Amino acid sequence: MSKFKKTRTEHLPITSELDIKLEKIIQFSGWIFLLGLLGFMSAWVLLDSILNIIKLEMSVSIFTFIIFTGINSAFSFGLATKLKNRRDKKKEFFLDWLLGEFLFCMFTIFSLAVYQW
């Protein structure tokens, strides 16, 4: 045995500028969805409940907008966190996210069609 400990040379994955831009774009889209949801809900509360200027009813389209923006915001923040923590599986996470968004949109469209029928 030698007196010197062998140092492990771990090769850290190199983070490219493109990876960082992708993470920031996905996180920015999450903030846009969240701000859209908060803006709509605050306008609803202000105009309908507090000032009684207009009367908004909970219809299918309003409910869909609220659910859609909230869930897409959560999807975007979740993907950005996953990409930040595990950059080596970036492609797999991104494809899973696209598939999840597609399935969510199809489920939303079909459930609205059934509800209105």
Q: Domain segments of the chain: what residues?
A: 17-116
**pLDDT for res 99:** 92
**pLDDT for res 56:** 80
- CA-based nearest residue to 82, from 74, 92, 93: 93
**pLDDT for res 102:** 92
**pLDDT for res 1:** 56
Q: Mind listing the pLDDT tens digit of every residue in the chain (117 residues)?
A: 566 666 665 555 677 888 889 899 999 999 999 999 999 999 988 988 888 888 888 887 888 888 889 999 999 999 999 988 888 888 898 898 889 889 988 888 888 788 777
Contacts of residues 81-90 at CB distance under 8 Å and 24 or more positions apart, as own/partner, are 83/19, 83/22, 83/23, 83/26, 84/23, 87/13, 87/15, 87/19, 88/13, 90/19, 90/22
What pTM value is reported for the model?
0.74
**pLDDT for res 49:** 86
**pLDDT for res 31:** 95
**pLDDT for res 15:** 74
